[in-house]
Structure 1
Amino acid sequence: MFGTSGVRGPFGTDVTAELALSIGRAVAAEDADRIVIGRDPRTTGDLLADAAAAGARECGADVIDLGIAATPTIARSVAWQDADVGIAVTASHNPPEDNGIKLWQRSGQAFDEERRERIAERVRADDATAAAWDAVGGRSAWDGAAERHVAAIENAVLGQETAAGADSTGPLANLDVVVDVGNGAGGLTVQALRELGCSVEALNEGPDGRFPSRPSEPTAETLSTLRSVVAATDADLGVAHDGDADRMMAVDETGNFVGGDALLALFAVDAVRSADEAGRQAGTEPRVAAPVNTSLAVDDALAEAGAAVVRTRVGDVFVAERASEPDVVFGGEPSGAWIWPDATLCPDGPLAACRLAAMVAENGPLSALVDDLDSYPIRRDSEEVAEKAATMERIEAAAADTFDDVNDIDGVRVTTDDGWLLLRASGTQPLIRLTAEAREPARADDLLETGHELLDDALAD
């Protein structure tokens, strides 16, 4: 039922009001007395939120309704409202016909696999007990969540004392930013940047769950309007969100899309340099959590900053789990999920947008910051297979016998002195995907060929 991103799929088949009602009941039955609920602007979001709230209230839990809210706002609000659980009704970057439900802890971290499975078991068993007629939960609205989130972002970017004493012009007064909200729930980014002093032009700001202006996922292809606007104006950068604003991607001042690996490297190095100096003097090497498909350029940038990458499975849930460890100062995914664990363990697109703006204001044009990073050739391919799991087991065994540095937490990643190779089964298709990256093009080609040899040998067994 639950994937790493919660329940997600087409409305009316995979995701229904009946399912939302059952999840609300199950969450309340897991000793949740107080629950925060919010949603992105999809057309089916209000009825799913109503159903989840009804299920929770039926089992005695009080519900605090945020209405339309960014997912990071919902996740943060669990602690702000002294609640036990947060329920976000969202399908994130999926198309408008989809919807979903994701559950959040007080720390801002999404439910881990164990907690997701407990909820799923209760839904399957349908064993939630209704409260007595005079003990059902109440429902109240909180319209201050976005404002609280903006204040938290300002404090995180500036420091609490600086934020409290900032003058009306703001510290980023010379910065021009274009924000493509994408008709999603991320409008608070516009407000936060203006509070920091930026001059902001907003695109597609009105919430509309049909996503009429562009597809919800922010990519180089879908952000053509943002790229054109930034290139045609004096803007210093452009930023964009998906439907629930847990993701943030960027465009530099020339209108070029900035890749996720480059953003990860920039954010990670900045976080390392801002890490507690006392901890580093005591011999603790700061680490950054990133998935197995992250570019070698991130490793090299962090090595220069005196830090290291700790690999995770693909998915922001797994990045957040590692980011909760005390020596991890940042976690990120090239897809656009950025986590600062000292702020929240939820990917926070509005916070990322404001941190990027502050970085540009302090260090200069985004294009120059990206140019200072290494960029390496990467090769990708895929092959159709009938038995993904069995094939991957054979690949893992062969790789372990052949190579010294093999990571099998999510597929099979082979690391060499000058590159890496990843073979990973698709989660939705009968495919095994191959990715290879190296510092030289010929070596990237060689690694990809090695991957095909491993796969072909496994298929021949």
Structure 2
Amino acid sequence: MFGTSGIRGPVGDVVTADLALSVGRALGTETDRVVVGRDPRESGRLLVDALAAGLRETGTDVLDLGLAATPTVARAVGWEGCDAGVSVTASHNPPPDNGLKLWQPSGRAFDTQRRERITARVEAEDWTLEPWDGLGSREPADATERHVEALTGAVDFGEHDPPGVIVDVGNGAGGVTVEALSRLGCHVETLNASPDGRFPGRPSEPTPGNCGSLVSLVGDSDAALGIAHDGDADRMRGVAADGTFLSGDVLLAVLATASTSAGDRVAVPVDTSLAVEDYLADRGVETTRTPVGDVHVAAAVAAGAAFGGEPSGAWIWPGETLCPDGPLAAVKLAELATERPLAARAAEVPTYPIERDSLRAVDKGEVMDRIRETVAERYDDVSTMDGVRVNTDEGWFLLRASGTQPLVRVTAEAREEARAAELFETARSLAVAAGAETAEEY
């Protein structure tokens, strides 16, 4: 039922009001007070209603933030003294999807044990419903102001003038970034600032291909940087003043370097570039690899890593929160831009040839099983911590099932371009032979 980032899928098929009701009942049986919020998708309104009904039936009180960024919801769990939080969101997925992501008071997403317990209750319909006089309440609440205050308190521009920033909100819930940067004194311009779950301005995921307007606007302006969010603002991607869209790996290296000292550890997922590991190692910072997904990165951060990040745009600072907070990453990137141009920082990070693609796989579990069998027969240095990663003397490739969509992710990297292309074609051929297909829409 749960993927790497909660429950996600097409509304009316995988994600229904009935499912939200059941999750509410299951979660409510174990809690007394829960905070909920949603991204701008219209389906989120009915899903929140169903979720809240299930929670209230078990006697749990509900604090409803309404439209709110996912990191706002995650932070509010602890701020409001709640037992858990639920974001009704499909994050960067396309408009037909929605989902539910559950949060602990620490700001960390529900771990495997907690997810499995909720799943078991839903499947067994194992919950306790209260009589009419024992129902929980539902009250409106607002955590955005406190989130803005936390963001403005997390950075200091010092003697530097606040930078000009262009924020592409992506028609999502990331308006908190605009407010925080404005209060910090930045000159802020926006793109796609009106919340709209159809995401008419651009697809929700903040990729280079989807953020062409932001890149052009930043490059033609006096802005020091550009910021792009996904639908629920847990992700943040950046654009340098010269209009360069910073790759996820380069941005990871830049943020990690600024957030650590020699002897520290940084948590990164298995699909992170070798260049990040090499760059941090030169500065005395160790890299710890985790399965893909912010819940796994957060676990490594909670265990002692000084910073955690994913090339997809999720960034975690343990001194602030254990959730991926896109607005926090935005203000921190703005702080870095005041001290030194982002393009200069990025130029120091080596880049190795890396290729990524996504292939459709309706039954991604079966596809991955066939891939594992084939790879085990052909290669010696194989890791199955998350998907199937094959290491060679020249580089590596990784095949893994998406935790949020019916896709198999294909990644390959080497220090030489020709070898990276060979490894990528090998990996892609393995996926196709196992039953995966081209998925141009992703």
Deviation at 1:425, TM superposition (A): 5.0
Please name the residue that 2:43 is paired with: 44
Distance 1:306 1:237, change over 3 A: same
| Structure 1 residue 256 displacement after superposition | 2.1
Q: Secondary structure at the match of 2:308?
A: strand
Any conservation in 1 of the 2:20–2:48 contact (CA below 8 Å)? yes
Kept in 1: contact 2:35–2:64 (CA 8 A): yes
Deviation string 1:166-204 (CA, Å, 9 cap, x unpaired) is 9xxx86534100011111110010111122221111222
- Contact 1:78–1:108 under 8 Å retained in 2: yes
- 1:413-450 deviations in Å (ceiling 9; x for gaps): 3445653333445666686x653322222443565577
Match of 1:304 among 282, 306, 331: 282
Alpha-carbon distance in structure 1 between the residues aligned to 2:136 and 2:120? 23
- 3-state secondary structure, aligned to 2:151: helix
Shift of 1:46: 1.5
- Written as runs of structure 1 = structure 2, the 5 A alignment for 1:262-281 is 262-273=250-261
* Higher radius of gyration, 1 or 2: 1
Aligned mate of 2:266, from 281, 288, 294: 288
Instruction: Name the % identity.
Output: 57
Give the distance between the partners of 1:382 and 1:59, measured in 2 at CA.
41
The residue type equivalent to 1:349 in the other structure is: G
Give the aligned residue type for 2:354: I
CA distance in 2, matches of 1:128, 1:179: 44
State the shift of 1:458 in Å. 10
Question: Secondary structure of the equivalent of 2:278?
Answer: helix
Q: What is the aligned partner in structure 1 of residue 371 from structure 2? A: 391
Structure 1 residue 132: deviation in Å?
2.5
Give the letter aligned to residue 116 of structure 1: R
Question: Match of 1:409?
Answer: 385
Are the counterparts in 1 of residues 161 and 338 from structure 2 also a CA contact under 8 Å? Answer: no
Partners of 1:121 and 1:343 in 2: CA distance: 32
1:319 maps onto 2:297 in alignment = yes
Note the C-alpha offset of 1:122: 1.2
Q: 1:390 & 1:111 partners in 2: Cα distance?
A: 30
User: Which of 206, 218, 231 is 1:230 aligned to?
Assistant: 218
Q: Aligned partners of 1:429 and 1:220: how far apart in 2?
A: 22
- Correspondence for 1:116: 115
Structure 2, gaps ≥5 residues long: 436-442
Q: Is the 8 A contact 2:24 2:53 kept in 1?
A: yes
Alignment size in residue pairs: 430
User: Cα distance 1:7–1:84, how it changes in 2: closer, same or farther (>3 A)?
Assistant: same
Q: Kindly indicate whether the alpha-carbon contact (under 8 Å) linking 1:58 and 1:131 is maintained by their aligned counterparts in 2.
A: yes
Q: 1:340 to 1:393 in 2, by over 3 A?
A: farther
Report the residue type matching 1:392 in the other structure.
Answer: R
Cα deviation, residue 219, structure 1: 1.1
Mapped partners of 1:258, 1:47: distance in 2? 37
Cα pair distance change 1:375/1:391, threshold 3 Å: closer
Structure-2 change in CA distance of 1:396 and 1:153 (3 Å): farther
Question: For residues 185-204 of structure 1, what are the structure 2 equivalents within 5 Å?
Answer: 185-204=173-192
The farther-off stretch of 173-182 and 234-243 is 173-182
**Structure 1, gaps ≥5 residues long:** 159-165, 274-279
In structure 2, how many angstroms separate the alpha carbons of the residues matched to 1:382 and 1:6? Answer: 20
CA RMSD between the two structures? 2.6
Q: Letter of the aligned partner of 1:189 in structure 2?
A: T
* Counterpart amino acid of residue 118 in structure 2: I
How far is the alpha carbon of 1:223 from its aligned partner?
Answer: 1.0
